[in-house]
A and B are shown apart, each in its own frame.
Chain A
Amino acid sequence: MSAKDAYPLLEADLLPLSIGAALLGTGGGGNPYVGMLRSRELLRKGATVDILPLEALPDDAWIGEVGGIGAPVVGVEKIEQGEECYRAMRAVEDVAKVKMSALICAEIGGANSMEPVITAAQAGLPVIDGDGMGRAFPEVQMTTFFIYGAKPAPAAIADDKGNTVVFRDVVDMYWLERFARDTSVAMGAAAGLAIAPMRMDFVRRTAVPNTMTQALQIGRTVLDARARRLDVVDRVIATTGATLFFTGKITDIRRELKGGFARGEAKIAGSGDWQGCEGRIAIQNENLVLWVDGRPVIMVPDLIINLDLETGEPITTEVLRYGQRVAVIGLPVHDLMKTPEAMAVVGPQAFGYPDLTFTPLAFGPVHG
């Protein structure tokens, strides 16, 4: 499988895709389990979904971006009616008077990795191998598409009951986040959002490339390591270019609500190479910053991922708990997320850390 070729997404790919997506969720993004089951149901009923490389379609093809919007905990209880994103996408087509040629993922991290696959299966469209984050982020505007000028309207949001709300004129991406967020809550905190169609030449320039394939490969690595009883954390590091930044045991986890988001902090007592060191992770749905002995060593937008030290299972911030043994690994975010434009939207300052200057992750071993 090469990222340069189109390939069909098969039922057997869904589990590894969901595992890789959970890992790229960097602690947030919601659990892809329900989305994996929904995709599986559609594929079993005969739907097919092709993954297309970014090079495949002509410049003037229209690309749709869809994703779920709401609260992850609602997602495990009020499962989707099934066509929320599909109806939102069709509404955008109607208002924009275009036909989509393919769909793309807003965020590969977490549950939203599955939404374009589901909508594509329903609409008979392919999915572009890439996404707007290369990870998970908490808000609508935090995609490379919006950072580099995607139009915020027309966008549409649809619920389980048949309500579809179109945002015809929206002045900027922050307004879209506000309107979509409030509407999703009115809709029961589980809705499907589709944003304005994007031209393929724009997507080619702005998408984080090959992330569907990347998630699949990470998931396969995890499953293969488990089957062969290898150290999953080691294998993930060896195959993704991630760096191990800390190992230890969670000694304190504090959570609070600020502005509708779950914020918090986890403290980790070091073990192994970090025996005697203290790690600290700031959380806003996703992991934001890792400090080791008071020194910031990874920060947004780079990826901070907590893996269960024994099983290699990615641990979401909601289930982080006292006593868990974790390996904290870091993955450099794509260069598109490191520009001054991107920093303004997803840098440490945008998350409320005015004192931190983004220092990009380098490859290679780092020790405390």
Chain B
Amino acid sequence: MIRIGIDVGGTNTDAVVMDGNTVIAGVKAATSKDVMTGVVNALRKVLDAAGMEASAVDVVMIGTTHFTNAVVQRRDLAPTAAVRLCLPATASLPPMVDWPEDLRDVIGNHSFLAHGGNEFDGRVISPIDEAELVAIADQIRERGVKSVAVTAVFSPVSTDFERQAGEILAKALPEAHITLSSDIGRIGLLERENAAIMNACLRDLSRDVVAAFRGALADVGFTGRFYLTQNDGTLMDAEFAERFPVLTFASGPTNSMRGAAFLSGVQDAIVVDIGGTTSDVGSLQKGFPRQATVAVEVGGVRTNFRMPDVFSIGLGGGSLVVDGPDALTVGPQSVGYRIVTEALVFGGKTLTTSDIIVADGAADLGDKSKVAGLSPDLIRKARDRIAFMLEDSVERARISADPLPVIVVGGGSIIVEGPIAGLDLIMPNHFAVANAVGAAIAQVSGEVDRVYSLAEIGRDEALTDAKARATEAAVAAGARRETIEIVDVEDVPLAYLPGNATRVRVKAVGELHVG
């Protein structure tokens, strides 16, 4: 199977061609303002490097920051109505109550509370009121809003209310996009509702972006299937991505960590992805990034997404090196993408980490003679400082005393001198385009997050049920059944509730079924 992985970042658009598990070619191209030109350029360049026609490619996987950036920059967002099925509960906090005001204003602050929703044990809070929902639909129509997010209390336990309300609203508003919160998030009403609303407000943009990706691929002669990558390192097909753009949030760090695991063949490690300005550091468990457990904000909005637990430090290939009177500092300021004109080795006037590495003879970049005058003492001090920063961040990411290896990837990897924190260092082939590799190898997942009463069924039975549901969800998402593995099982007893109520979360992943 020939596949192309693309990672559209803020600065670079990276692309790789892979044949089975072999990387044939990897390239970097500048990200263009319109994004698509950069994608077409990267595609042409990588096909060229691989000596391949687009028609030989079976499938294309794309990781993109487009939707995250749209929310962060408050652009291209559609007016959206939030409908919550809850009354009389939750009336004290309307939808979007904890959003930044500017973002709430951009999408219109259209909030509606209606009857419906479940208790923790599946009992009904109040029955659905069809007339009430039809009246809400009338208001939504009058306001000219065409995106709707529907959230019911405890919908992760029972999706019935959201489905029913979704159908009533779809009938009354045939032109509207409708997002159900239970399709996106887990327990935690405000966070799940926030994700559903953000998803709904991205639906116009997602239609355009998916169409543009399709256009860019057609432009280079590819007409097969393509996928977008999610924040958990798995895939969604183009049609699904169009419906759930919010699931692409934070897919960038995930892709680079997954790519690092693949290129190195190591499943448990610390990954350091060194770019031009920052390094992202995270921990890899069974080939997947460890997930954050606290609420993660996107564009100022709290979510409870499956986000990788990654932190950034201000150290990259373009970081400024300043030999101050007290101490030598490296970063967090960086010349970023201007490194090709501003770094000393490229004829610029700014001393960067890359200049230090070239002066030390550890890399061949630009004009070495421009850094010949740097003192050995300065070079040593700068390298020590870089080593200290890397060591400190790796120690932060370490989650056990086990001597896990450190995998270094990303375009700025040349700044690494040797083993970090005394751990084995792996710098795999194609390290500079690990993120595009991560996109290319992304798998397909299914996840469940349910509350079981262990008084009614035993723990083993509950876990078996959850695993079966997760497996079916993965198959439904396009995984080959025989490749499916359960990668994550978590059960948390719910305090104070009788009947041993336990929340079970299971994730299953499998390889993409092609053909």
Contacts and interface: CB of A to CB of B under 8 A. Distances in A.
Nearest to B493: A257
Contact of A76 (B92, B125, B189, B294): B189
B93 A73 contact: no
B399 A71 contact: no
A260 B190 contact: no
A37 interface: yes
B221 interface: no
A41 B92 contact: yes
A262 B500 CA distance: 10
B496 A70 contact: yes
A149 to B, nearest CB: 26
Contacts of B494: 71, 73-74, 262
Interface centre among A74, A162, A262 (most CB of B within 10 A): A74
Contact of B97 (A37, A80, A261): A37
Given A37-B98, A73-B503, A78 B189 contact: yes
A346 to B, nearest CB: 18
Interface in A71-129: 71-74, 76-82
B189 A74 contact: no
A201 interface: no
A185 B498 contact: yes
B497 A260 contact: yes
Contacts of A269: 401
Contacts of B125: 78, 160-161, 188
Contact of B189 (A77, A185, A251, A261): A77
A16 to B, nearest CB: 17
B450 to A, nearest CB: 13
B396 interface: yes
A34 interface: yes
A82 B92 CA distance: 5
B197 to A, nearest CB: 16
B153 A73 contact: no
Nearest to B155: A77
A106 to B, nearest CB: 15
A193 interface: no
Contacts of B120: 71, 73-74, 77-78, 188-189
B495 interface: yes
A82 B496 contact: no
Nearest to A269: B401
Interface in A244-280: 249, 251, 255-257, 260-262, 269
Interface stretch (B60-68, B83-91, B158-166, B362-370): B83-91
B126 to A, nearest CB: 8
A322 B496 contact: no
Interface residues of A, number: 44
B98 A73 contact: no
Contact of A79 (B187, B190, B399, B495): B190
Interface centre among B290, B498, B503 (most CB of A within 10 A): B498
B452 interface: no
Interface in B239-284: 283
B188 interface: yes
A338 interface: no
B154 interface: yes
Nearest to B454: A257
Nearest to A187: B119
Interface string B483-515: 000000000111111101011000000000000
Contacts of A160: 88-90, 125
B123 interface: yes
A38 B93 contact: yes
A241 interface: no
Interface centre among B89, B190, B494 (most CB of A within 10 A): B89
Contacts of B396: 310, 325
A28 B500 CA distance: 19
Contact of A322 (B189, B294, B399, B454): B399
Nearest to A160: B89
A298 to B, nearest CB: 22
Contacts of B400: 249, 251, 322-323
Nearest to A75: B189
Contact of B92 (A72, A79, A323): A79
B312 interface: no
Contacts of A34: 93, 190
B187 A189 contact: no
Given A160-B88, A188-B120, 5 more contacts: A81-B91, A81-B92, A257-B502, A260-B498, A285-B496
Interface of A: 28, 34, 37-38, 41, 70-74, 76-82, 138, 160-162, 181, 185, 188-190, 249, 251, 255-257, 260-262, 269, 285, 310, 313, 318-319, 321-323, 325
**Top 9 A-B pairs ranked by shortest CB distance?**
A323-B399, A82-B92, A160-B89, A257-B493, A79-B90, A262-B495, A188-B119, A71-B496, A81-B88
16 contacts: A28-B495, A38-B93, A76-B190, A78-B119, A80-B89, A81-B88, A82-B92, A181-B496, A188-B89, A188-B125, A189-B496, A189-B497, A249-B399, A257-B493, A257-B502, A319-B293
